[in-house]
Structure 1
Amino acid sequence: MAEAWDNALLALRLLAIDPALGGIRIRARSGPVRDALPLPDALRLHPAMGDDALHGGLDLTATLATGTLVQRGGVLDRSGPLQLAMAERCPVDLAARLCLHLDLTPRVLIALDEGTEDEAPPAALTERLAFHADLTEVAVTDAVTAAIKNVKPYPVTVDADRIAQIAHLCAACGIDSARAAGFALRAARAHAVLKGHAEVTEEDLAVACALTLSHRATRMPEASSEDSAADPPPERESAEAEPDSDDTTLQIPEEMLLDAVRALIPDDLLARLAAQKARAGRGDGTGAQRKGMSRGRPLPSRPGRLQGGGRIDVVATLRAAAPWQKIRRDETGRDGLHIRASDIHIRCFAERSERLLIFAVDASGSAALARLAEAKGAIELLLAQAYARRDHVALIAFRGTGADVLLPPTRSLVQTKRRLAALPGGGGTPLAAGLDAALLLAGQAARRGMTPTVCLLTDGRANMARDGTADRQRAGADAKTAARLIRAAGHAALVIDTGNRPSEALRHLATTLAAPYYAMPRADAARLSATVGAALAD
């Protein structure tokens, strides 16, 4: 993986030449490899940084000491590169402020990404960074430190055909961002400066496209030479061939660009794109965010009243009252500190609730053992990630005339394997009973502060009504009623059809639940776990 290290060093050299490239996302855990990078001296940022630290504001200590308003600047008011630690934990509000700042002020942002496979910085922030360096597989022996020399930039010309090549390559890689093409052009000019070229060459363009476009590609680019070999163009007259001769001369560097980008595109591109799409949905896969006044991650204080167990933020209250002290002294004719009810600020906190995955599994019929085995494997795979994602798992099996909670909410892999060792199967399909049991368990979990999600695995052939009688029509109506109750309670859900053919009735039930529907006949545990994980992160 020495190539990844060399590319990271080259990206840092290009950033030193042109700060308008935005910055670089460095994916690596804290350690000797990342420490060996010659990062520039930068202003440190962290995910919990508030507006006062970023943009500055009233200097409360100096204001109270002097009796006059004293303003102080924030971190973003200082010049120089920025370095964001633990970028994978950057909240969306901080990312929005940084994006606005980078759009208005060209400067370098170094985002240190220490996340796992399912963690990443906000996409809007990484979109404004030209480079991405993944150093997770780089060995310490390959991390050879090299100094970043100061190279004075100078004007570099670029041919219009080179710009057209960048646009064609972005289209070939499925990149729809205009920033990507702009970053590629800037990187090509910076590389030309680094090499002492007066004009952007094929080498400059190939290196720039590889560094700025490979991590943004959404599909593998195909070589146009193969297409031309398969379908040779008809011969034309010599007079008509002159305009095409220029295109032919550009074919070689265009192939060079394709090869350069392909070389840096990861082999698991499709898997990474699926994970990114999952993260780009409704959340990051964790439980719901709850705001309160007692515990959690601190949020900016808000004006309020001392009621309901709220705690006053003394500093924020004094900061709100400080600008009005002279006016209030003149009004009252009294010295001292004047605090009014409108100045009171209350501390606010936000915390992520723990998530509960409730598997409601159809254990009826001849295929019950296969479905339960799939659910068992999926639960064990998801439990392996439970500690990182703070997930709990529960299992409900419905068959015959009712439903049983085989596994109450747990994170224990040992307990899960013990409970799943012998699962019952056979009998009718009381779908409504399974949904009722899931609703009851989800309600209990919600009252304990958890975020429940119901995952229904069935072939949709409900034939047992709520009262235990065999009636397909009533069983379908009871199942829809139970689904409406789950939706009314606000619980998230997803439906996985395990039948041999997709069931239209089960698709309608998913619509009633406001849940995504997946038809997965013969699904193995790995596919089931991947589908559940991606759907829950949406």
Structure 2
Amino acid sequence: MANQSWIHATLALRLLRIDAGLGGVCIRARSGPVRDRLTAMIDPTARRLHPAISDEALFGGLDLSATLASGHLVQENGLLETAGPLILAMAERTTIGLAARLAVTLDKGHDHTLIALDEGAEYDECLNPKLAERLAFHIDLSDCRLDGTTEIWSQTESTIALADVTVPRGVTEQITRIAGELGIDSMRAALFAIRAARAHAVLNDRKRVTSDDLEVACALTLAHRATRVPEPQTAEEPPAPPPEQIENNRSEESLDLPDELLLEAVRALLPDNLLNQLTAQKARAGRGNGTGAARKGNRRGRPLPSRAGRISDGARIDIIGTLRAAAPWQTIRRNATGREGLQIRPADIRIKRFEEKSDRLLIFTVDASGSSALTRLAEAKGAVELLLAQAYARRDHVALVAFRGTEAEVLLPPTRSLVQTKRRLAGLPGGGGTPLAAGMMTAFEQATQATRRGLTPTIAILTDGRANIALDGKADRKQAATDAQQIARVLRAHGTDTIVIDTGNRPEPALRNLAQTLDAAYLPLPRADAERLSKSVVTALGD
């Protein structure tokens, strides 16, 4: 019997052939026979892309060898010049630049569809969300075995044209309403659902969208975008409409399909680990790739496109780039000088550029106040030690700031020494008030010093959010909250990455508002142990 995910994957490919306006599909599966069998069903004319593909390969550029041989400018076409499907391998490694270029290509028209092959192993290892938003479908084949890949592909062509399919009255409003109940804030989801319903109708030789088409379309396009699980409706049914309205609805060919049936179709495809996936995605959103800051250089690091420059000490000439710049002018220069051979001018010189990552500093800012301080400090100590064990591979440093009573204290300066960390964390005091603003100010000072030393700081604030000590040391809850908000705006203005971890028994609205001011990830983790805390921080950093 065919695996349900396999059926959805093959159906998504068939719908894409009918309507390229669906954008594409993201297929999450590790390399293996299951994925090979599925990719064999893709149009053989599909062109393959790599996450590190260059702009010249995508959009075309100068054909260097042909230009030098002929003496005049010869352009070569890029992969995006020809309409058709694109296969993006290792999609989880797609850079922000490539994701933006592919997103613009999909937005321009319906000439291309994208099949993104996501090989990620963890929740946060996934396709760039901005690019994934432009793909109608997302299929997870992680649990699909080879014996569940029964061949169900039908090669028969439908006699119905997509433009001839009609959508019943009220369907657009209904799908939009259901998307809202699922917590989906993008209008693309509703548009994809309508397109998928029409394509499914064509697949079944129908000129009018039916309830079956809508159920399949909503399940395939909305389930993976849901951010909450809607509760079953328990409200009383609305009164029956008058006979005149019933006759009008019939004359307008409306589709009498309860919202609950469509929601049930979506619920059936909601993943069991939806909460974990959402936590990882929200934590990662806007936080880059979790590494240190990028710094430009001309000696080492990741290669960047070369730029025009002058020969100087330390500069490395990009020979290929220089030849590309000089090639179009060879005929003119030969005629002007009367000399044969390759002629290169100073304006043709291209200098290599590289980008390297700085070391990263994790500043744990821990609430050590109140009766539960010892528990939270124990969690923080365990999390710091777990993270330090991985710091050698990631080149991370760790610092610890504790705030209690009326002030904050740097208990552990930036270090990568596990022995020194355990010695400093041996016995930390607790109790007293909650000077949250003082803790944030001290963490900001540590972050500023780290930036001057070439590190990239990230602040992780662990607190229950009940600030009651102002910056001047007075017990004033209102002023304490105001001070925390002011420092949060300073942190945001300086571009310091921050994570807010709510350790209270219940999520604190004030902490959520503080995270919004910081433009930071907010993670409510009541009673989190050291292992879960460290994993949450690593996930939020995008590792």
State the TM bucket, normalised to the shorter chain. 0.7 to 0.9
Q: List per-residue Cα deviations over 1:83-102 (Å, max 9, x = no partner).
A: 11111221222222222222
Correspondence 1:287 to 2:270? no
Distance 2:352 2:321 in 1: 9
**Aligned AA for 1:348?**
R
How big is the shift at 1:205?
2.8
Match of residue 46 from structure 1: 50
**Aligned AA for 1:158?**
V
Match of residue 2 from structure 1: 3
Are the equivalent residues in 1 in contact too, given 2:283–2:522 (CA < 8 A)? no
Distance 1:507 1:22 in 2: 35
Match of residue 332 from structure 1: 337
3-state SS in 2 of match to 1:82: strand
3-state SS in 1 of match to 2:53: coil
- 2:93 corresponds to which of 80, 89, 95: 89
Distance 1:204 1:419 in 2: 64
Match of residue 130 from structure 1: 136
Distance 1:274 1:186 in 2: 30
Are the equivalent residues in 1 in contact too, given 2:138–2:224 (CA < 8 A)? yes
C-alpha spacing 1:60/1:491, structure 2 compared with 1 (3 Å): same
**Aligned AA for 1:454?**
I
- 2:170 corresponds to which of 164, 185, 207: 164
How big is the shift at 1:155?
1.5
Correspondence 1:77 to 2:81? yes
Distance 1:507 1:79 in 2: 46
C-alpha spacing 1:249/1:384, structure 2 compared with 1 (3 Å): farther
Match of residue 259 from structure 1: 264
Match of residue 27 from structure 2: 26
3-state SS in 1 of match to 2:26: strand
**Aligned AA for 2:127?**
P
Give the alignment of 1:214-233 within 5 angstroms: 214-221=223-230, 226-227=234-235, 230-233=236-239
Distance 2:358 2:16 in 1: 40
C-alpha spacing 1:312/1:188, structure 2 compared with 1 (3 Å): same
Are the equivalent residues in 1 in contact too, given 2:158–2:205 (CA < 8 A)? no
Q: Please give the root-mean-square deviation of Cα atoms over the aligned residues, in Å.
A: 4.6
Correspondence 1:179 to 2:188? yes
**Aligned AA for 2:30?**
R
Correspondence 1:56 to 2:60? yes
| Runs of 5+ consecutive residues of structure 2 not aligned to the other structure | none
Are the equivalent residues in 2 in contact too, given 1:173–1:220 (CA < 8 A)? no
C-alpha spacing 1:114/1:312, structure 2 compared with 1 (3 Å): same
C-alpha spacing 1:122/1:190, structure 2 compared with 1 (3 Å): same
Give the alignment of 1:29-428 within 5 angstroms: 29-37=30-38, 38-40=40-42, 41=44, 42-102=46-106, 103-115=108-120, 116-144=122-150, 147=153, 149=155, 151=157, 154-155=160-161, 157-161=164-168, 164-174=170-180, 175-221=184-230, 226-227=234-235, 230-233=236-239, 238-239=243-244, 241-243=246-248, 250-252=255-257, 254-307=259-312, 309-363=314-368, 367-379=372-384, 392-397=397-402, 403=409, 405-406=411-412, 408-410=414-416, 418=422, 422-426=426-430
C-alpha spacing 1:372/1:241, structure 2 compared with 1 (3 Å): same
Are the equivalent residues in 1 in contact too, given 2:170–2:255 (CA < 8 A)? no
C-alpha spacing 1:410/1:27, structure 2 compared with 1 (3 Å): farther
C-alpha spacing 1:354/1:223, structure 2 compared with 1 (3 Å): same
| Runs of 5+ consecutive residues of structure 1 not aligned to the other structure | none
3-state SS in 2 of match to 1:329: helix
Q: Which moved more, 1:362-371 or 1:315-324?
A: 362-371
Are the equivalent residues in 2 in contact too, given 1:364–1:425 (CA < 8 A)? no
Distance 1:146 1:500 in 2: 50
C-alpha spacing 1:171/1:428, structure 2 compared with 1 (3 Å): closer
How big is the shift at 1:341?
2.0
C-alpha spacing 1:12/1:502, structure 2 compared with 1 (3 Å): closer
3-state SS in 2 of match to 1:251: coil
Are the equivalent residues in 2 in contact too, given 1:12–1:148 (CA < 8 A)? no
C-alpha spacing 1:23/1:391, structure 2 compared with 1 (3 Å): farther
How big is the shift at 1:152?
5.3
Distance 1:409 1:193 in 2: 63
**Aligned AA for 2:132?**
T
How big is the shift at 1:507?
11
Q: List per-residue Cα deviations over 1:256-304 (Å, max 9, x = no partner).
A: 4332222112244344334333333243433323332223332222222
Distance 1:254 1:505 in 2: 35
Are the equivalent residues in 2 in contact too, given 1:172–1:222 (CA < 8 A)? no
C-alpha spacing 1:12/1:382, structure 2 compared with 1 (3 Å): farther
C-alpha spacing 1:178/1:320, structure 2 compared with 1 (3 Å): same
C-alpha spacing 1:98/1:332, structure 2 compared with 1 (3 Å): same
Q: List per-residue Cα deviations over 1:93-112 (Å, max 9, x = no partner).
A: 22222222222352221111
Q: Which moved more, 1:110-119 or 1:389-398?
A: 389-398
Q: Which moved more, 1:28-37 or 1:264-273?
A: 264-273
Distance 1:179 1:209 in 2: 12
Are the equivalent residues in 2 in contact too, given 1:354–1:450 (CA < 8 A)? yes
Q: List per-residue Cα deviations over 1:442-501 (Å, max 9, x = no partner).
A: 466546643112334466566999xxxx9989xx9xx99999998897644456687899
Distance 1:503 1:191 in 2: 45
Correspondence 1:454 to 2:459? yes
3-state SS in 2 of match to 1:109: strand
Q: Percent identity?
A: 53
Distance 1:206 1:517 in 2: 34
Q: List per-residue Cα deviations over 1:421-441 (Å, max 9, x = no partner).
A: 733314878979977875675
**Aligned AA for 2:327?**
A
**Aligned AA for 1:121?**
L
3-state SS in 1 of match to 2:147: helix
Q: List per-residue Cα deviations over 1:395-414 (Å, max 9, x = no partner).
A: 345679984544853497xx
C-alpha spacing 1:525/1:251, structure 2 compared with 1 (3 Å): farther
3-state SS in 2 of match to 1:310: coil
Q: Which moved more, 1:114-123 or 1:271-280?
A: 271-280
Are the equivalent residues in 1 in contact too, given 2:287–2:541 (CA < 8 A)? no
Are the equivalent residues in 1 in contact too, given 2:91–2:119 (CA < 8 A)? yes
C-alpha spacing 1:435/1:11, structure 2 compared with 1 (3 Å): closer
How big is the shift at 1:117?
1.0
C-alpha spacing 1:307/1:448, structure 2 compared with 1 (3 Å): farther
Distance 2:512 2:220 in 1: 44
Are the equivalent residues in 1 in contact too, given 2:67–2:327 (CA < 8 A)? yes
**Aligned AA for 1:211?**
L
How big is the shift at 1:122?
2.2
